[in-house]
A and B are shown apart, each in its own frame.
Chain A
Amino acid sequence: QKEVEQNSGPLSVPEGAIASLNCTYSDRGSQSFFWYRQYSGKSPELIMFIYSNGDKEDGRFTAQLNKASQYVSLLIRDSQPSDSATYLCAAEARNQFYFGTGTSLTVIP
């Protein structure tokens, strides 16, 4: 069983719509969760982190964490073509970061 699992997509949304990205993790001991954005050929860059159950908002981005369901999500409001990228979910476990395989998002103008 993989530590972190994501739907690989691809996910396509029209410009201005809400993009919803989902992630599940296997280690109930994980305390910290992260969303990264990776453009093609580039290294991942951090978008958000979340430690507590519930929602955390930062601009157009909202991260949601449900520890009982071992579920993390990222909502992108008012999606822009520049949001087109692969989104990686990560969870901390056993002193390391484990990454999902990423979800490819395309925002259609």
Chain B
Amino acid sequence: SQTIHQWPATLVQPVGSPLSLECTVEGTSNPNLYWYRQAAGRGLQLLFYSVGIGQISSEVPQNLSASRPQDRQFILSSKKLLLSDSGFYLCAWSVDQNTEAFFGQGTRLTVV
């Protein structure tokens, strides 16, 4: 069966520090991968999605970036965090764009 791992679960980082969140999927090949952010009391905002290794599409301009160095690995990064980057970050995968997406446990990021 397929599983998705996302870590860390919680993170407190100072403003201006770098960020690296990692997500891996097991049990499937060539999944579609997604990074979402959910601010407190708000909906899910799609940040990046990837349909294959090295293929990254960005939905919103921001100081975040994403990379997919391996088929089942998706990384979210920032060189310098802003206060506004605080939120609940969720990685998700799907077989393709027409099938359901499954979420990792999420990372709660607080920028102080």
Contact = CB atoms under 8 A, between A and B. Distances in A.
B87 interface: no
Contact of A96 (B42, B46, B99, B105): B46
Given A32-B98, A46-B101, A97-B101, 15 more contacts: A32-B100, A34-B100, A42-B106, A44-B103, A51-B98, A88-B44, A95-B49, A95-B51, A96-B46, A96-B49, A96-B59, A96-B97, A97-B94, A97-B97, A99-B36
Interface of A: 31-32, 34, 41-46, 49, 51, 88, 90, 92, 95-102
Given A43-B104, A100-B43, A95 B90 contact: no
Interface in B69-112: 90, 92, 94, 97-106, 108
Given A98-B46, A100-B43, A102-B43, A43 B105 contact: yes
Nearest to A51: B98
A46 B97 contact: no
B18 to A, nearest CB: 24
19 contacts: A32-B100, A34-B100, A42-B106, A43-B90, A43-B104, A43-B105, A44-B103, A45-B103, A49-B99, A90-B101, A95-B49, A96-B46, A97-B34, A97-B46, A97-B92, A98-B46, A99-B43, A101-B43, A102-B43
